[in-house]
Every structure is written in C-alpha cells, then in structure tokens.
Structure 1
Amino acid sequence: MDGEKRARMDKPGGSPHLRFLSNPLMGDVVSDWSPLHDAAIHGRLLSLRNLINQGWPVNIITADHVSPLHEACLRGHLSCASVLLSNGAQVNGMAMDWRTPLFNACISGNPDCVNLLLQHGATPHPESDLASPIHEAAKRGHVKCIESLAAYGANIDYYISHLGTPLYVACKYQQVACAKKLLESGASVNQGKGLDSPLHVVARMSTEELVEVLLDFGANAQAKDAEGKRPADLVPPESPLAQIFLEREGPLSLMQLCRLRIRKCFGTQQHHKITGLLLPEDLKRFLLHL
C-alpha cells in the first residue's frame, strides 16, 4: 500500500471504501463498515485503542445501526467492550434488527460481558420484544447469563407473546440447566406460551428429564392446551413418559406440598436464603431441589 493510501486509511473517513453520513436521529456517524468495527469483532484491543486515540468515534454505526460495541459483545471480547464503554459507547444502542449489545452478549454466552454491560446501565428488557436477552440466554443454554440478568432485575417470568416465558423457551430448546436455574430462582412452572405450558412442550418432545424436573417443581399435569389436551395426552401410551405421568397422577405428596409452600414463602429471587435456615443440610438441599 502506498503512503498516500495508508494515510487515508489511518484517519476517520480516509478509506475510499467508507462513506460517512450525518444521522440526526442517532447523533452518530454512519458508515458501511469501519476499522473500529473490524478491531472490535476480532478482539484486537491494541488496534481498537489506537483507532480511538486517532479520533475514530466509538459510536460509529453501520447503515443497520450496528456499533463496534455490538460486535465486541457478539464475540464476547470483554476487554474491547470495556474500552469502548469507558470511552462513551452507548450501552443500550439498538440495531435495525432490535439487537442491543446485551442481547449480543447473551448470544456469545459471556457472563463477564453481560455483567459489564449491566454495570454500565444496560437495560435487561429493551423496548422491543423482538430481541430479549433473557430469552436468548435461555434458548442457548447460558445459565450464568441468566444468573447475571436476574441479579440485575430481569423478570424471570418475562412474557413475550410470540416466545412465551424464558422457562418455556428453555424447555422448547431442551436446555435442562437453564430450566432448572429459572425454576430454582422462582420462575412460574406453569406459565408457558398461551395455554401451552412448559410441561406440554417437553411432553411433546419426549424429554424425560425435563418432565421430571417440572413435575418436581409442581407443574400441573392436568392443565389443558388450546386443543384441550393434557401433557400426558401428547405422549404415546407405550412411552416411558406415559409411565411417569401415570405414577404422578393424583394429589401431590404432603412432603412435596410442604417444599413448594416453603419456597413460595421466600418469593422470587430469594431462595438463596434457604441456605441460611437452621435446618439439616439434607433438608435444605431438598428445599433447593439439589
């Protein structure tokens, strides 16, 4: 590359492949793609710092409103995200597809990145339901991301009409660990998507482990979906699941009722206090479903 072309590449707007426009709605600089985006998505921290020092705006966005912070979080590059935020990157910037940096961090499954964004004021529930961070974390099996979101006030029963609850999403994608974490945190075991409960979706998919987990947390095996079918009606008669449902028919045991009642008394996001009770360890483990 000759010296003149290199000089054009080293300063904002210098590349012949970039075009910059004024965006009165966003107050940012718009480009097709910038070296700042490239450094962020590949985790090139030194290059990112150099570009910022040269005057590249950290809130430069593409025509689709994708920022360097979006790209750093999508790949889970914590250090790059930290540098961008410390230089004024917009933590709740929204792309044209409604994705925020927090949503992208939940795609990557990097809990440190999620925590960093939340510490800088990221909104757990952005204004659009088309890109919900907690639903995305549940879908992809990122338990630690769910923990972080819940700790910063995310509603673990957040309902979206086209997705249902995070628990429903976790069950639909057979993310057992996420389903357990949501339930342990106090998620409503019977709230799914419309009349379709989490138990309905796992029965339909013949996921034995999740059926057992949901029933242990008090799922209503008699609930009917939009077609008037119970979860047990959705499994073949010869299926091992049919036997599980048969064994669980009738009222819950007194022991199970007591466990569910005690957990309900603690409320959502307070179940960690069970460990502080003056009870035998085995009993505390029972209450915690461990």
Structure 2
Amino acid sequence: MDDERTNQNASKLHGAGEQACAAAPGTPRMRDFVSDWSPLHEASIHGRLLSLKKLIEQGNDVNVLTADQVSPLHEACLGGHAACASVLLKHGAQVNGVTVDWHTPLFNTCISGSVACLNLLLEHGASLQPPCDLASPIHEAAKRGHVQCVELLASHGVNIDHNIKHLGTPLYVACENQQLNCAKKLLESGANVNSGKGLDSPLHTAARNCSVELVKLLMDFGADLWLKNAENKRPVELVPPGCPVGRLFLQREGPLSLMQLCRLCIRRCFGHQQHQKITGLLLPDELKHFLLHI
C-alpha cells in the first residue's frame, strides 16, 4: 500500500483539468498504473542514489515508463532529488518527457521547488514552453510560492505574462494564492500588473482576499484602480466589509504623482527582466533603488 500511495501522489495531476486537453497519442489510459512501477521509479522518488546507480549499472532502462508515461526523471524531480536527476540525465533520460497528465520533469520540479533540479533540467535543454496549458511550470511555481524557481524561469526567458484561460497569468495566480514574494518577483521581472484572468485583474483578486501587502505592492507597480471585471466592479468594490484594504484605496484615489508616473514609464521602456537591466545602468544608487522599488 505504501508503494501505491507513493505512485498515486507522484503521478496524478494536482487540480482539475484532465478533460480539457486530449491525451497524448498512444498512451494507455485505463491500465493499472501501479502494475509497472519499477525499482528505478522507487529509487528516484525516494532519492536513493546508490540504489539508482546500481540499477542503472545492471542495465535497467532510465526511460522506463509507467502506464501513465511517468519516468524515473519525473519522480526524481517531483521529490526534489537533484543527485538522482543528474545521474538519470547523464545516462540519457529524456528531459522533456510528458505524462498523460501533461506533466514534464520541469513541471514536477516547480511542484517540489527544487532550484538544483531546475538548473539541471535547463542545462540539459528542458523546454520552457509547456506541452499543454494544464501544466505550466511558471504558474505552478507562482502558485506554490517557489520564488527562486520563478526567478530562474524568468531569467531564462519564460513568458511571465503567459495567460491561461482557466488560470490567468502567473501574477494573477500568485495573487490569488497570496504569494507575496512571487508576485513581487514577477513584477520586478516586468510582468504586466493589470493582466489577470479574463477581466479580473490581479488587484481584483488581492482586494477580494483582503490582502493589504499585495494590494499595496500592486498599487506601487501602477495597478489600475479603475479597471472593471466581468461583473462591472472595480477592485475597491470587492473589498470585504471592515477590511483595512479599503483605507488603502481611499489613500490612493486621484492621479499618480509625477515621480511615480516617471518611474512606471521608465520601467515599461525596459520591458521584461527589468531588475537585471536597471541594476546595470550607470546611475546613482539612490535613483536605481527608486526604479527598483527598493
């Protein structure tokens, strides 16, 4: 039973959506996926490096798959075991393998939050483009609060404004799950502060959740207080009664200061990866700190 629970926890999609994308071609869907759970999978998910090396030396295929197309590399990344992932990649593990739930090793790494695994996968050519919107690595990292994963993905050129219909943008997902540090990192990297889920902006969901720090952060990065969602409501109209966020909206009513407008204009000119670009400018530290919201 322990093995079965391990396999189920490691291999099934976290959240809704299996019906939204067609199954990968040629993948069995109805078999008992526990039946072909191999010793390589077992060693990988638990980080048993010596056992893994021995099994490979004995001729076991590093790309052996379960019926759900889960590879040992998927499991090593899900467990956050970089040493096991390194050995598997060294012996030819497929870095972009896709399960029937559209999970890649990169996606699983963003579940575990292992920066070491993420670096390894990127070094071995892992694709930043998800095979299906059901399993977007940047959204998963933002949802779970893995700031270093978000930063690394952004620095490698992932689309930080990737808008998925049922999720929204990574910034929206971070705000919806009240992941302040991830939201800050995305904004520092140049994420569009007003791009959310449909007509719902990140500020809408932050106001709805009565998150003072998130609302202040979004306002500092130029969030539009007057945007209306599908219900024709502005963010301030979604603030729960008695929530201190309401006072913030009252304080920020009216036009932005010239100083704030200039900062937002300069940051927009830099586009994505703003933090790195601004840091390299030949400007006084005080001015760079202002542009970087420090």
Bucket of the pairwise TM-score, normalised by the shorter protein: 0.7 to 0.9
CA distance in 2, matches of 1:217, 1:120: 35
Report SS of the residue matched to 1:136: helix
Cα distance in 1 for partners of 2:243, 2:151 equals 34
Find out whether 1:109 has 2:113 as its counterpart. Answer: yes
Match of residue 181 from structure 1: 185
Could you give the per-residue CA deviations for residues 25-69 of structure 1, whole angstroms, max 9, x where no partner exists? 58xxx9611111111111111111111111100000111111100
Give the aligned partner of residue 263 of structure 1. Answer: 267
Letter in 2 for 1:242: G
CA-atom RMSD, angstroms? 1.5
Name the CA shift for 1:41/1:238 in 2 (closer, same or farther; >3 Å): closer
Among 31, 35, 39, the alignment partner of 2:43 is 39
Match of 2:92 in 1: 88
Question: What is the TM-score of this pair, normalised by structure 2?
Answer: 0.87
Q: Shift of residue 151 of structure 1?
A: 1.9
1:218-260 CA-partner distances (Å, limit 9, x unpaired): 0000000001000001114643211110111111110100111
Which position in structure 1 is the counterpart of 2:151?
A: 147
How far apart are 1:190 and its partner, in Å?
0.1
Q: Which moved more, 1:211-220 or 1:115-124?
A: 115-124
Task: Find the aligned partners of 1:255 and 1:32 in 2 and give their Cα distance.
Answer: 62
Matched, 1:135 2:126: no
- Secondary structure of the residue aligned to 1:264 is helix
Structure 1 residues 49, 236: closer, same or farther in 2, change over 3 A?
A: closer
Is this contact kept in 2: 1:191–1:197, CA < 8 A? yes
Give runs of ≥4 in structure 1 deviating > 6 Å.
none
- In the TM superposition, what whole-angstrom CA distance separates every residue of 1:70-109 from its partner, at most 9, and x where no partner exists? 0000011001000101111011111111111111100110
Residue type of the alignment partner of 1:133:
P
* Cα deviation, residue 263, structure 1: 0.9
TM-score in terms of structure 1 length: 0.88
Distance 2:125 2:227 in 1: 40
Distance, in Å, in 1 between the alignment partners of 2:198 and 2:136 is 18
2:79 partner letter:
R
Other structure's SS at 1:239 match: coil
User: 1:272 & 1:183 partners in 2: Cα distance?
Assistant: 13
Q: Aligned pair 1:206/2:228, yes or no?
A: no
Q: Is the 8 A contact 1:184 1:271 kept in 2?
A: yes
Asked whether the equivalents of residues 263 and 271 of structure 1 are also in contact (C-alpha less than 8 Å), the reply is no
Cα distance in 2 between the residues matched to 1:273 and 1:139: 26
1:152 Cα deviation (Å)? 1.9
Deviation at 1:270, TM superposition (A): 3.7
1:68 pairs, out of 72, 82, 87, with: 72
Correspondence 1:125 to 2:125? no
Question: Is the 8 Å Cα contact of residues 63 and 71 (structure 2) preserved in structure 1?
Answer: yes
Q: Measure the CA separation in 1 of the matches of 2:287 and 2:102.
A: 45
Q: Distance in 1 between matches of 2:242 and 2:47?
A: 52
Structure 1 match to 2:174: 170
Q: 2:258 aligns with which of 254, 258, 268?
A: 254
Give secondary structure in 2 for the equivalent of 1:62: coil
Unaligned runs of 5+ in 2: 1-24, 28-32
Q: Distance in 1 between matches of 2:280 and 2:163?
A: 31
2:291 to 283, 287, 290: 287
Percent identity (aligned): 70
Quickly say closer, same or farther: Cα 1:257–1:66, change in 2 above 3 A: same
**1:231 paired to 2:235:** yes
**1:128 aligned counterpart, secondary structure:** coil
Greater Cα shift, 181-190 or 276-285 = 276-285
CA distance in 2, matches of 1:53, 1:236: 61
